[in-house]
Amino acid sequence: MIKVIPMTEEYIDDVAEIDEHCFHVPWTRTDFEREIRENKLAIYFVAVNEDNKAVGYAGMWHVVNEGHITNVAVLESYRRMGIGDMLMEALEERGLELEMIGITLEVRISNYGAQKLYTKHGYKPEGFRKKYYTDTNEDAIIMWKYFPNYENYSETL
């Protein structure tokens, strides 16, 4: 059984390993240590299995009144089990608790699997970042999901 919990330092090695398997340019262990120990904006969750090993994780930064997803990753052997959905729901629930107006992210234009996950959760494309990914010069799609309190916020502008 998989459960999603807030990430603590005990999961840093697992998360660094997940990143190594899932991304062309993975974050380092030091990057995750900095996120957990020093970054006051960081919010991270891990999906752990029955052995208390992280098999997926997701993170975002709480910047002013918005969330910015940094990474979502699930080990390949655990994909298609709803873990990505569980992680996205945890981020979104936290965003609502913190009264964010919405959450944004960038996704590789070629990453159809991730785009499908985000679209399923109500994220919509709102722009592009040309040559965003430095390893391939690939463009990124900027996606947003606005929460209900966005309407109240936008009316005050």
Q: Could you list the active site residues?
A: 106, 118
| Separation of alpha carbons 3 and 13, rounded Å | 18
| Separation of alpha carbons 108 and 101, rounded Å | 24
Give residues with Cβ within 8 angstroms of 110, minimum separation 6. Answer: 138
Q: What is the CA radius of gyration of the chain?
A: 15
List of long-range contacts for 35-39, beta carbons under 8 Å, 24+ apart? 35/59, 35/70, 36/7, 36/8, 36/9, 36/12, 37/9
